[in-house]
Amino acid sequence: MRTTRAVAWKEIQVFFTNPMAYIVALIFLGVTGFFFTLDLGDPFPEASLSNFYQGATIILILLAPALTMRLLAEEQKLGTIELLLTSPVRDWEIILGKYLAAFGFLFVMIALTTYFPLLLFWFAEPDPGPIYSGYIGLILYGSAALSIGILTSTLTSNQIIAFVVAAGILLLMFFIDTRVDAVTGIWATLLSEIGMRSHFNDFERGIIDTKHVVYFLSITALFLFFSIRALESRRWR
Amino acid sequence: MTSLPTEETMIQATGLTHFYGPQPAIEDVNFSVKRGEILGFLGPNGAGKTTTMRILTGFMPPTEGKVTLGGYDVVDQSLDVRKLVGYLPETVPLYTEMPVTNYLKYMGTLRRMNSKDINRRITEVIELCRLNDYSKTIIGKLSKGYRQRVGIAQAILHEPEVLVMDEPTIGIDPIQVVETRRLIQDLGKQQTVVLSSHILPEVSMVCERVLIIHQGRIVAEDTPDNLAQRLQGVEQLEIEIGGPPREVTSVLSKIDGVVDVNHRHAADKEIYSVKAKEGLDLRDEISRAVVSNGWSLLSMQLTSMSLEDIFLRLTTEEEQIS
């Protein structure tokens, strides 16, 4: 566990000394701020965060992979992976440490947006339920997105490839339920169950359904598991 | 297991073969290293040195064969092996954005040292590798020679029982090369060291025993002094003769000065490798013996796979300190 913490702490430090992470945070705050204010021109604006949540989930399709793309690809590029894999550290400790660092940064980034709901509470009387549940959903969704980015970063030494592939997978998984009409039977069920957006929507409406929580946690666990396997496979190639 | 390693044996490699695609990088490599020994792998670039090092350190498994290190199997007990090993890869892997001490602290934690030991050892290795003035410097700003020292510092930080160094003196200036060699010799007093090099004088200076590796195979193994002697001692000829193999072999063996005759049948040709003593040129005697027996002498040449040729490909000259 100490090694996991060391890996996580080292990566957190890199995040906070690296312009990339600040750029990601800046874009995240800018874009979500823009979505938050979309309703303001409306004669009867709604005191809710649903636009913010829409914007945040979509922009994370790009930003989550941008946070994770470096994590393992760079180690492979620099050759430091050779030291990491010849140290007495288990593969899961490496992956978990990297994931925790990315999750920590994402958490801080999301926490920085809490002035939106504070503004709402200041100027209006929003329904608090959807606000809390929406944040829980956002964190769960972000966690799943990061784990996908970790996997692609494990698979290549090229950060750009890691980024593009992760963003592509995320984009597909996010919107795939919109094609549910095109198929029937089991395929339709499958598509609607895989789709991230459909699982997120309930959080935004103020519902915390165990099914959706389990979905996002499973995606996270599954992709982290694949990442560990992918890292292991480096030893066998 | 065919041969139980004795207490003295630190590393035991049997039948190591590794393929990258269809071509073997190393083939049937066998060697053992005693505790406290400094072993050098000498070979031209691409001979399979790095592959062997990577297998030793558990970075990748051999396609075939087995290595034990301190009694642990490199593949099955990888984690135990990794605790024993300090490794300096060929391209020194450094996190360029980190200051030297932070980097060493990180590597120490990954090696599961406790923080008291880490701090004690960091002071020691910084002293040992003469990094005193640069302990707070960002690694990316260090020159190549200093980066190499940081690489060595991380390899010895956890006082590993086995130190594996891949080309430890490549790309650093001659003065630092001398210092680095001295450091390795000092370390070799307590630890088992395996290093690789393509520079002949380097391994002669530093190592107690040398394995010469060429095209993935170990072609010679001896002390540096004995190797140098063997190198001067023997001439080898490859001869193609048309005639009955058994008689040809016996006639060739009887020639004065012939040490060894090996017959092989390759692509419809009868080839004989003849080793002669002490730089003797036996071509005249051999051709006369062949012809007088009524056989045909089809070709004769100094063999191309001799140690001498491998040595010629190695760097035998040291860079001069300018």
How far is B209 from chain A, CA to nearest CA, in Å? Answer: 25
Flag whether pLDDT at A109 surpasses 80.
yes
Q: A81 to chain B: which residues are within 8 Å by CB? A: 93
Task: Give me the phi and psi of B279, to 5 degrees please.
Answer: 65, 20
User: Mean pLDDT, to the nearest integer, of B10-16?
Assistant: 92
Between chains, do A83 and B97 touch, taking CB under 8 Å as contact? no
- The reply to whether A87 touches chain B by the CB within 8 Å rule is yes
A2 touches chain B (CB under 8 A): yes
Contact indicator for B184, B134 with CB cutoff of 8 Å:
no
- Contact check, Cβ <8 Å, A87/B107: yes
For A49, how many CA atoms within 13 A lie in the half-sphere containing its CB? Answer: 30
pLDDT at B57 over 80: yes
Q: Which of A6, A90, A235 sits opposite B60 (nearest CB)?
A: A235
Give the residue numbers spanning the domain of A225: 2-234
Please state, as a whole number, how many other Cβ atoms lie within 10 Å of the Cβ of residue B130. Answer: 14
User: How many CB pairs below 8 A link A and B?
Assistant: 67
Shortest Cα–Cα distance, B21 to chain A (Å): 10
Nearest to B93 among A17, A83, A236 (CB): A83
The predicted pLDDT at position B318 comes to 54
Please compute, for residue A99, the number of CA atoms within 13 A of its CA located in the half-sphere on the CB side: 27
| A85 touching chain B per CB within 8 A | yes
* pLDDT number for residue A43: 76
Residue B82's pLDDT band, with cuts at 50, 70 and 90, is: very high
pLDDT at B88: 94
User: Whole-angstrom Cα distance, residue B74 to residue A27?
Assistant: 47
**Once rounded to an integer, what is the mean pLDDT over residues A194-222?**
92
Q: How close B8 gets to chain A, by Cα (Å)?
A: 24
Query: How much is the pLDDT for B279?
Result: 61
| Residue B234: predicted pLDDT | 58
Q: Is the pLDDT of residue A132 over 50?
A: yes
pLDDT at B5: 47
Q: Sign (positive/negative) of CA torsion A138, A144, A147, A153?
A: negative
Q: Higher pLDDT residue, B63 or B46?
A: B63
Q: Which of A61, A73, A78 is nearest to A24 (CA)?
A: A61
Indicate the range of A179-188, B158-167, B196-205, B280-289 predicted with least confidence.
B280-289
| Residue B305 confidence (pLDDT) | 45
Q: What is the CATH number of domain B9-222?
A: 3.40.50.300
Average pLDDT of chain A, as a whole number? 91
Which has more pLDDT, B31 or B2?
B31
Give burial (CB, 10 Å; 0-12/13-18/19+) of B28. middle
State how far the alpha carbon of B271 is from the alpha carbons of B142, B194, B250, B294, in Å. Answer: 56, 38, 14, 17
Judged by CB atoms within 8 Å, which residues 7-26 of A form the interface with B? 7, 10, 14, 17-18
Residue among A6, A234, A236 minimizing CB distance to B106: A6
Within its chain, how far is the Cα of A222 from the centroid?
A: 14
What residue of A is the nearest CA neighbor of B56? Answer: A86
Question: What is the Cα–Cα distance from B85 to B10, expressed in whole angstroms?
Answer: 11
- pLDDT at A188 > cutoff 50: yes
A-chain residues within 8 Å CB-CB of B97?
A: 14, 17-18
User: Measured between alpha carbons, how far apart are the two ends of chain A, in Å?
Assistant: 28
Using CA atoms, how far residue A167 sits from A57, A138, A139, A173, B36, in Å, is 12, 17, 18, 10, 52
Yes or no, beta carbons of A3 and B60 under 8 Å apart:
no
Examine the pLDDT at B321 and tell me if it is beyond 50: no
- Contact residues on chain B for A236, CB-CB shorter than 8 A: 60-61
Say yes or no to pLDDT of A34 above 70.
Answer: yes
A14 to chain B: which residues are within 8 Å by CB? 97
User: Which one of A14, A88, A235 has the shortest CB-CB distance to B111?
Assistant: A88
Average pLDDT, chain B: 83
Query: What is the tally of structural domains in chain A?
Result: 1
pLDDT at A219: 96
Point out the residue among A79, A235, A237 whose CB comes nearest to the CB of B93. A79
pLDDT value at position A7? 95
- The secondary structure of chain A as a DSSP string is -HHHHHHHHHHHHHHHH-HHHHHHHHHHHHHHHHHHGGGGGSSS----SHHHHHHHHHHHHHHHHHHHHHHHHHHHHHTHHHHHHHSS--HHHHHHHHHHHHHHHHHHHHHGGGHHHHHHHHHS---HHHHHHHHHHHHHHHHHHHHHHHHHHHH-S-HHHHHHHHHHHHHHHHHGGGGGGGS-HHHHHHHHHH-HHHHHHHHHTT---HHHHHHHHHHHHHHHHHHHHHHHHHTT-
Amino acid A236: pLDDT: 63
How much of chain A, in percent, has pLDDT values that exceed 70? 99
CB contact under 8 A, A235 and B87: no
Burial (CB < 10 A; 0-12, 13-18, 19+), residue A154, is: buried
Query: What is the reported pLDDT for B56?
Result: 92
Q: Hey, are the CB atoms on A86 and B61 less than 8 Å from each other?
A: no
Quick check: A86 and B110 CB within 8 A? no
- The answer for residues whose C-beta is within 8 angstroms of residue A219's C-beta and 6 or more apart is A144, A147, A148, A196
CA dist., res. A212 & res. A198, Å (int): 9
Q: Torsion angle, CA of A81/A86/A91/A96, rounded to 10 degrees?
A: -60
Distance from CA of A106 to the nearest CA of B (A): 22
Asked whether the beta carbons of residue B82 and residue A86 sit closer than 8 angstroms, the reply is: yes
Asked if pLDDT for residue A28 goes beyond 50, the answer is: yes
**pLDDT tens readout for residues A40-57:** 777 777 778 888 999 999
Say which residue, B214 or B136, is predicted with more confidence: B136
Nearest by Cα to B86 from B70, B99, B71, B64: B70
In this prediction, residues B26-41 reach a mean pLDDT of 91
Mean of pLDDT values over A115-136: 90
Residue A47 CA from chain centroid, whole number: 26
Name the residue with higher pLDDT: A139 or B281: A139
Residues in B whose CB is inside 8 Å of some CB of A read 54, 57-61, 79-80, 82-83, 85, 87, 89, 91, 93-98, 106-107, 109-112, 154
Q: pLDDT tier at B73 (50, 70, 90 boundaries)?
A: very high
Q: Are strands B209-214 and B38-42 parallel, antiparallel or unpaired?
A: parallel
Mean per-residue pLDDT, B99-127 = 94
CATH architecture of B234-309: 2-Layer Sandwich (3.30)
CB A227 within 8 A of CB A150: yes
* A78-97 average pLDDT score: 93
AA letter at A96: L
| Structure confidence at residue B284 (pLDDT) | 79
* DSSP assignment string, B39-82: EEEE--TTSSHHHHHHHHTTSS--SEEEEEETTEETTTTHHHHH
What is the per-residue DSSP string for B187-238?
HTTTSEEEEEESBHHHHHHH-SEEEEEETTEEEEEE-HHHHHHHHHHEEEEE
Share of chain B above pLDDT 90, in %: 35
User: Nearest-CA neighbor of A60 among A162, A178, A171, A198?
Assistant: A171
Higher pLDDT, A123 or A235: A123
Would the pLDDT of B181 be above 50?
Answer: yes
Q: How far is CA A119 from CA A33, A49, B45, in A?
A: 12, 11, 66
